[in-house]
Amino acid sequence: MSDDAEGNPGKLSFPEGFIWGTATSSHQVEGDNHLNDWWAWEQAPGHIEDASTSGLAANWWQMAEQDLAIAAELGQNGHRLSLEWSRLQPARDAWDERAVERYRQILGFMRERGLEPMITLHHFTLPLWVREAGGWANEQIVPLFVEFTRRAVDALGDLCHLWCTINEPMVYIAMGCVFGVWPPGRGGLRASGPMLRHMVRAHADAYHLIHRIQSQAQVGYAKHVRLFDPADPARWADRRAAGLVDYLFNEAALRAFDDGVVPPPFGRALRRNRAEHLVDFLGLNYYSREMVAFDPRRKDEMYVHRFANPASPFSMEGWGEIYPEGLYRALKRLAAYEVPLYVTEFGIPDNTDSQRPRFIVEHVAAIHRAIQEGVPVKGAFFWSLVDNFEWAAGWSARFGLIGLDPQTQERTVRQSAGIYGRIAASNGLERGLVAEVAPDLLPTLFSGAASG
Ligand code: FCB
């Protein structure tokens, strides 16, 4: 693994032009997004773990530039952000030009500072008027989403050519319907089929539309790939259980967004007139893996028991195993789709920044390993640039390279920001940095290098 494009044994180099960025989403950072369904959800008691609300969030609607300037100073050259549909289109017949102007300012600032934008069109939140019309459960959302996409690309297309239609469709469906802990908070398993079918159609139509408007556009979506490994690989029932969970969470959606054909149990695998090709790139959001055991007592959970590998280090309680190898495995898996890949999110909840430095080094090394084996990874966006409102976990889980006190809006640039910055600035992982952060990794990462 010590080989390196520049022939430098002291560095794991990345391809020229690799994007080193961070990712955020509108509701989590902008603040005061009171016209969407998440805002309404937060106000109801019991929905947010620490009883907090998004409130001003990281106040990006007023001062995104403050954090983006830090990102650029630290050597990053990209940023993934999302548009807040409820700001741009607060009602069915309204379109807010001031909101357009604000996004143009933010995107313009990013471009000036050398941060290549990737825009996500849907990152979990819906305008209240779309929610009231049934949200993703109602097929009427498809033309509404496409119309929103048309307006957004018309208004911002000169500033961005990397478009991510939908963020983590299966996380949205699992959390919103199956577990019911996010909006809409109902629907159960039965609602997951129609929802996925509507999302795939919305993606497909948006994909073609964006290409009609913008010839050089690159369009994809972000898939959260979780690894599901059998608790006991020698046990047939565990292997079957892991395969089932993997199919439902990973495989079905990966196939559906690739060619527009939604497989059972979510769809009937009806082929349209022609097989479509619906992604120019795949976005991978990777966080963790789960071990899966067959458990005959868990009838309501499809006889499946999922848990974090007790033998591995884990991040904050409840957030799962730290498993960098999984990022490499997920990238290898996505390589089968034969399109460029972006790691559209990877990150760790770590309020004290004690695990994040090593996490960054190990995960960047995993990306490098995949690239060395021919996987076409074009960039990586760390989650996240700044602490933000972490959905149902509220402010209890901090993911930022920049720490934030949401009350005072005071920022602290964490040690890990500098580490990620050094990787970005040198477009690679230098031996010296690994020696500082995780010296025990030196023999594996730089096996051929006597010194560095
Ligand atoms: C992902 C979401 C993102 C953030 C991270 C921690 O599933 O896309 O908004 O919440 O997890």
User: Tell me: the pLDDT tens digits for 116-155?
Assistant: 999 999 999 999 999 999 999 999 999 999 999 999 999 9
The CATH number that applies at residue 275 is 3.20.20.80
Residue 369 and residue 408 in contact, taking contact as beta carbons nearer than 8 Å: no
Q: How many CB atoms lie within 10 A of CB 365?
A: 20
Q: Is 70 exceeded by the pLDDT of residue 43? A: yes
Residue 172 CA to ligand 1 centre (angstroms): 10
54 secondary structure, DSSP code: -
Q: What would the mean pLDDT of 209-229 be, rounded to a whole number?
A: 97
- Within a domain: 5: no
Question: What distance in angstroms lies between residue 4's CA and the mean position of ligand 1's atoms?
Answer: 32
Contact assessment for residue 168 and residue 285, using Cβ atoms and an 8 Å cutoff: yes
- 10 Å Cβ neighbour count for 412? 13
Total domains in the chain come to 1
- In the numeric block, the tokens 């959390």 are attached to 175
Rounded to the nearest whole angstrom, what is the distance from the C-alpha of residue 120 to the centroid of ligand 1? 13
Ligand 1 and 167: CB distance under 6 A: yes
Distance CA 311, CA 319 (A): 15
Atom of ligand 1 nearest to the CA of 224: 7
Tokens of 341: 């890949």
Instruction: Please report whether residue 431 resides in a domain.
Output: no
Q: Is residue 350 part of a domain?
A: yes
**Is residue 7 situated within a structural domain?**
no
Residue 136 CA to ligand 1 center (angstroms) comes to 19
224 in contact with ligand 1, CB cutoff 6 A: yes
Rounded to an integer, the average pLDDT of 55-60 is 98
Any ligand 1 atom below 6 A from CB of 25 = yes
For residue 193, the enclosing domain spans 17-426
**CA atoms of 10 and 354, how far apart (whole Å):** 25
Looking at the domain assignment, is residue 432 inside a domain?
A: no
pLDDT in tens, 171-187: 999 999 999 999 999 99
**353 is written with which tokens?**
């920044």
259 domain residue, yes or no = yes
Average pLDDT score over residue span 347-365: 98
Is residue 67, in this structure, part of any structural domain at all? yes
Contact (CB, 8 A) for 23 and 16: no
- Tell whether ligand 1 has an atom less than 6 A from the beta carbon of residue 120: no
From the CB of 253, is ligand 1 less than 6 Å away? no
Asked whether residue 9 is domain-assigned, the answer is no
Phi, then psi, of 163 in degrees rounded to 5: -120, 135
